[in-house]
Copies of this chain bind each other. A is one copy, B any other.
Amino acid sequence: VRLAVIGTGLIGGSIALGARGAGDMDVVGFDRDPAATGRAAELGALDRAAGSIEEAVAGADLVVLAMPLDQFDESCRAAAGHIGEDTVVTDVGSAKAHPVAVGEELFGARFVGGHPMAGSERHGIEAADASLFGDAFWILTPTPATSSDAYRRVARLVSVLGAKPIALDPVVHDALVARLSHVPQLAASALVAVAASAGDREALLGLAASGFRDVTRIAASNPDLWVAILKSNRGAVIDALEGLRGTLGTVAELIAGEHWDDLHGFLARARSARLDLFAKPVHDGEPVALSLIVPDRPGVLAEVTTAAGHIGVNIEDLRIVHSTEGGRGRVELIIAGQEPAEKLSAALHELGYSVHLGEID
């Protein structure tokens, strides 16, 4: 099987490395930046570096389009005239309706949209890693026009890379990522904007608790990256924003009208959905929170987690809340089950920590 990878950055480079590692694929690569193509070959990601898109796709059985979103249309058209009749084409864009429309126009039944759910914190070929997709989901977006043979060939590549393919309609995919990623990002930024406009830093610091910290963590993300993502999923993002605004409007009406039972119902349904969505597959017990004040220095976390390891207690989640005054912080541990939580609490108490133990609030 000859695989052509167009765009040898983090994603394309990792696909190339993984495919070559699997042993039975001949991998040709091209990147608009010749240095990136060369480096991909040096790092062992490519059997052969191509000098152009046309050269890379000629004779390929499977083409992966992994260039930045804003180069997709142009690269697609450059590849179109030089691709074999049976060649299957896929992409890795984070929105799917637009690339699928362009891809099907140019490649018909042989285009299968894809979106690997992995690895965004680094960029470029230096960050590429054959194991990037291990255990990750990889969305594929076949349509009624997609050839089942083409789908099978792309799904096989996904499996070879260690990921789990999930098939979704491209429009459903875009609506879901708008709701699960793009609009939460905008909501986090909007919550920061609304808060920051309302008080001075000392007052904000005094009142901002760990909940606000969690909700707004992603507001610190890279704006360049996010503008490109939001551009690529414009329609679905606008729809989902309207959905969120509508829901918040309903909530405001419930509060204004003092419909407390209905508000309770809304919060309770959201709570169930959230717990259900991120429930661990194997539950050992109800989650219990342990909170302790610790000095803010190297080694403390090791003391706490070693104590848990010694008595065989698994830490489900751990968060560090730094004191704004410096020198001290709070560590919050989540343990599944009252009994292991009490065991760990006792062990930490013996080590001299003051431990609070309670339900998740």
* Chain A contact residues, CB within 8 Å of chain B: 117, 119-123, 127, 129, 131, 134-135, 137, 139, 164, 166, 168, 172-173, 175-177, 179-181, 183-199, 201-209, 211-227, 230-231, 234, 237-238, 240-245, 247-249, 251-252, 255-256, 258, 260, 263-264, 266-271, 273-278, 280-282, 289, 291, 293, 296-306, 308-310, 312-320, 322-326, 328, 354, 356-361
Contacts and interface: CB of A to CB of B under 8 A. Distances in A.
14 contacts: A122-B357, A135-B293, A176-B204, A179-B194, A192-B270, A193-B270, A222-B361, A223-B268, A227-B260, A241-B248, A244-B248, A281-B325, A298-B313, A301-B318
B230 A263 contact: yes
A186 B254 CA distance: 12
Contacts of A273: 192-193, 195-196, 219
Contact of A193 (B185, B247, B293): B247
Nearest to A233: B255
Nearest to A249: B245
A190 B135 contact: no
Contact of A318 (B179, B303, B318): B318
Contacts of A322: 280, 316
B359 A121 contact: yes
Contacts of A304: 305
A175 B199 CA distance: 9
A184 B243 contact: no
A94 B322 CA distance: 22
Interface centre among A127, A176, A185, A277 (most CB of B within 10 A): A277
Nearest to A297: B314
Contacts of A241: 248, 251-252, 255
Given A120-B361, A264-B224, A270-B189, A184 B206 contact: no
A181 to B, nearest CB: 6
Interface centre among A190, A225, A304, A313 (most CB of B within 10 A): A190
B129 A356 contact: yes
State the copy count for this chain.
Answer: 2
B193 A183 contact: no
Given A207-B176, A248-B187, A255-B238, A166 B202 contact: yes
B184 A215 contact: yes
B208 A121 contact: no
B269 A193 contact: yes
A234 B255 contact: yes
A270 B211 contact: no
A213 B197 CA distance: 26
Given A214-B217, A222-B359, A238-B252, 18 more contacts: A117-B207, A122-B358, A135-B323, A176-B207, A179-B195, A194-B240, A196-B273, A214-B215, A214-B218, A219-B270, A221-B361, A226-B267, A297-B314, A298-B315, A302-B305, A304-B305, A315-B320, A317-B319
A172 B192 contact: no
Contacts of A354: 129, 131
A289 B291 CA distance: 24
